[in-house]
Structure 1
Amino acid sequence: MKIKNMLYAAMFAAIVAVLGLMPPIPLPFIPVPITLQTMGVMLAGSFLGKRLGFLSMLLVVMIVLLGVPILSGGRGGMAVLAGPTGGFFIVWPFAAFLIGFLVEKSWKNINIAKYIVANIIGGIVLVYLVGAIYLSYITKMPIDKAFLATMAFIPGDILKAIVVSILCYKLKEISPINEVIK
């Protein structure tokens, strides 16, 4: 792997860590707070593409599991997996990969709408699907209630997807995806 690509992966892992410094917003009806870190996952997939996006989020997962408290609220360590947010967190590399895959597939004629669709599919649908199933399992919450509880996050996450999509569209010319798709 080129040093430039390693730096991209590390930089986006750092962006997710910085977004983790923003205090989480707790919701009274679900033990999963609103955070900005999912925006970093969307950024990684949209800007870096599937391979580097996956690697950058895998780096975040490894750093967290080693105990570095970079998740929102200062959380880190293996205990994150045992908590209600574990499923939302562990799927980040796969979400970035799916977003990157969809963006790369449309790269030659990418537009803001296609970025938004990719971010919604990978950054919201996949994350919520895995996260809600995991939440249900860990908390013994009925699966329908777990999915219903996650609906409170949709407006904010759609806003994140729109912001990321506009930003990545504007930065398209400097995206490393240009080196993959020629």
Structure 2
Amino acid sequence: MSTRDIVFIALFAALTAALGIFPPLTLPIIAVPITAQSMGPLLAGSILGAKRGALSVVLFIVLVAIGMPLLAGGRGGLGIFYGPTAGFIFGWVASAFVTGALFERYWNSLNVWKAGFFAFIGGVVVLYAIGMVWVSVMTGLPLAQVAISSAPFLIGDAIKIAAVALVSVTVRNTYPLIIAKSA
């Protein structure tokens, strides 16, 4: 791994932290906030690729674990990883990796629609699969009930996916950081 790779990994960990500064939107029905921070792993994967994107999220999670208040609302520390929403935080690693792998695989034919679809796969399908199972196990709620209660978050996710698609394709066209894998 080159110095350039390490710098990009650290940069996207910092970007994910910075996205936590935006004020969260808390829906009155549920206590879990909708934050811009979950866009960080998608941007990391879509711009850096699978390996570097996932490593940037791992770095971010390690910084949170050692107590840095980098999560939305200024939260940090090991206690975060014992709560019902920790699965979504751990899922960010897989989200960045899957998104990055799809971007790498289809790099040469990438457009805004494909970028949005790939961000949807990584940011909703993969992330929710991990996060909702964790919530179900931690709370004892049936998975179907957790899925229904997660539905309001899809509105915010659609906005984040659109932003990731536009940003990632713009970066691809101006300053590409991913090396295409053969399709």
Interval of TM-score (by shorter of Structure 1 and Structure 2): over 0.9
Q: Which residue of 2 aligns with 1:91?
A: 91
Residue-by-residue CA offset, 1:135-174 (whole Å, 9 max, x unaligned): 1122222211111111101121011111111111011041
Q: SS where residue 36 of structure 1 aligns?
A: coil
- Counterparts of residues 74-113 of structure 1 (less than 5 Å): 74-113=74-113
Report the equivalent of 1:3. Answer: 3
1:120 counterpart residue number: 120
Q: Is the 8 A contact 1:20 1:37 kept in 2?
A: yes
Q: In 2, Cα distance between the equivalents of 1:158 and 1:26?
A: 17
How many residues in Structure 1 have an aligned counterpart in Structure 2? 181
Deviation at 1:181, TM superposition (A): 4.5
Indicate the residue corresponding to 2:25 in structure 1: 25
Is the contact made by 2:41 and 2:54 (CA closer than 8 Å) also made in structure 1?
Answer: no
- In structure 1, distance between residues paired with 2:83 and 2:15: 23
Structure 2 alignment gaps of length 5 or more:
none
Scaled by the length of structure 2, what TM-score is found? 0.94
Q: Which amino acid aligns with 1:121?
A: I
Structure 1 unpaired stretches of 5+: none
Letter of the structure 2 residue corresponding to residue 43 of structure 1: L
Instruction: Report the counterpart of residue 57 of structure 1 in structure 2.
Output: 57
Distance in 2 between residues matched to 1:138 and 1:24, nearest whole Å: 23
Deviation string 1:2-49 (CA, Å, 9 cap, x unpaired) is: 111111010000011011112222223334210101111110011000
Question: Residue 164 of structure 2 corresponds to which residue in structure 1?
Answer: 164
AA paired with 1:29? I
